[in-house]
Amino acid sequence: MTVDLTTKFTGLDFVNPFILASAPPTESKRKILRAFEAGWGGIVTKTIGLHPVENVAGPKTIYQRTSEEKPYVSRMKRADTVSHSSWNWELISDQALEIWLPDLKEIKETYPDRMVIASIMAGAGSQEELDNWCKLAKEVVAVGCDAIELNMSCPHMDRKDMGANIANDEEIIRDIVGAVTKAVDVPIWVKLTPATSTVADAAGAAYDAGAACISICNTFPSLPLMDPETLKFEVEVDGLVTSGGLGGLAILPQALQRVSDINKAHPDGAISGIGGIRGFREAFNFIVHGAGNLQICTAAMEEKGSGGVGVKLIQELKDDLADYLERHGHSSIEDFRGIARDRIVEHSQVRRKSDDYNGGYAKSA
Ligand SMILES: Cc1cc2nc3c(=O)[nH]c(=O)nc-3n(C[C@H](O)[C@H](O)[C@H](O)COP(=O)(O)O)c2cc1C
């Protein structure tokens, strides 16, 4: 392979633009080292917080599949099925900050050319919580992390001052991004929820307050399915379930729409694209809508024999990107990044059979 896959993104040098998203593939030193050995350009750690975390007393993630024969979505193992989505209700990391810090230091020292982005989360609405964001940020930067991703998008938080619950509040976004930007001197990435019609406004507030990039999408709020015969949800504890997050292939088109919305409203703002990437075709689609960096979770978790870090997947992504660049004579993804922007238009700007249509408004005489 002669093509150069390096990219500069938010001022950081990536050996390739593919990174593991904040999730189980990046929950431990062991997995992160394995991921770097396999060739990932960077990782976003599983989100680190200061508040107590205890997960449900049952499976935290299921993989839903579908088939051509009987295309219902189910985690049930059936012949000839393909992946549809992941569904999870996992909370943020239950590993304490004090355990993370020496691990992060060792990871960065072992792989100085790979980007380590620490995902962090605290609450909102008080100086104490702002201080918590800043404490987390300062400590992970002190052990060598290259950037920080603020998790304002976890879809299953009870606390109303955390995760996706705060991602529509532009004042809160400005306060947190502003405080963390002042506290540390590394790029601040802000991960937003797709579960809002005003994601471009939320992104604007984050960019204004100093965010170096928007990471989008976290998972979509969703429920697992109920089996009509047993009346059990496909994942439940004592018959109960709650809203969790959908990831994987099923969210790809919606994720692209969120990326496009942000890119159209803020053409100069950096975007790290996430949601349903399984190979180069999906990554390509994020890039044409403006993403300069790609994050992957479900596809890596689903790869058998890789310990859930996508060993074959990263090789394929790199090979297929190199092949594409070579065949099209591109020197980097910058050559085709954002090329779809002007082709996403308002509904009424798409040609009709007659000239009379006025977007549903009556034409004035
Ligand atoms: C089991 C699981 C745990 C996750 N935990 C986190 C987390 O701690 N912090 C975070 O920002 N996103 C978390 N995510 C969301 C992923 O980082 C990613 O945004 C989402 O899964 C969409 O990407 P995908 O379609 O490639 O899976 C989690 C996803 C899964 C499936």
pLDDT(31) > 70: yes
Express each pLDDT in 52-104 by its tens digit: 899 999 999 999 999 988 889 999 888 899 999 999 999 999 999 999 999 99
Residue 18: name the closest of 299, 210, 242, 229 by CA.
299
pLDDT(2) > 80: no
Q: Is 217 noted as a catalytic residue in this protein?
A: no
Neighbours of 12 (CB within 10 A): 18
Express each pLDDT in 199-256 by its tens digit: 999 999 999 999 999 999 999 999 999 999 999 999 999 999 999 999 999 999 999 9
Mean pLDDT of 130-159: 95
pLDDT(179) > 60: yes
pLDDT(364) > 90: no
Q: What percent of the chain has pLDDT over 70?
A: 99
The H-or-E segment that residue 97 falls in is helix 97-110
For ligand 1, whether the C-beta of 88 sits within 6 Å is yes
pTM greater than 0.95 (yes/no): yes
The residue whose CB lies within 8 Å of the most ligand 1 atoms, and thus the one to mutate among 18, 22, 317, is: 22
Interstrand relation of 42-44 and 48-49 (parallel, antiparallel or unpaired): unpaired
Question: Which atom of ligand 1 is closest in space to residue 248's alpha carbon?
Answer: 25
pLDDT(365) > 70: no
The answer to whether residues 176 and 124 touch, using CB atoms and an 8 Å cutoff, is: yes
pLDDT(116) > 90: yes
Mean pLDDT of 13-22: 98
pLDDT(38) > 80: yes
For tokens 């998008």, what's the residue?
A: 153
Extended strands (E) in the chain: 7-9, 12-14, 18-20, 42-44, 48-49, 61-66, 82-88, 115-121, 147-152, 188-192, 213-216, 220-222, 244-247, 270-274, 293-296
Q: Which residues pair with 189 in a beta bridge?
A: 149, 213
Confidence of residue 135 (pLDDT cuts 50, 70, 90): very high
Domain spanning 7-349, CATH class: alpha beta
The answer to whether residues 177 and 188 touch, using CB atoms and an 8 Å cutoff, is: yes
Q: What percent of the chain has pLDDT over 90?
A: 85
List the chain domain ranges: 7-349
Mean pLDDT of 157-165: 86
145 phi and psi angles, rounded to 5 deg: -65, 145
Question: Which atom of ligand 1 is closest in space to residue 298's alpha carbon?
Answer: 27
SS (H, E, C) 165-192: HHCCCHHHHHHHHHHHHHHCCCCEEEEE
Closest-CA residue, ligand 1 atom 19, reads: 218
User: Residue 87 C-alpha to ligand 1 middle, in angstroms?
Assistant: 10
User: Residue 347 C-alpha to ligand 1 middle, in angstroms?
Assistant: 32
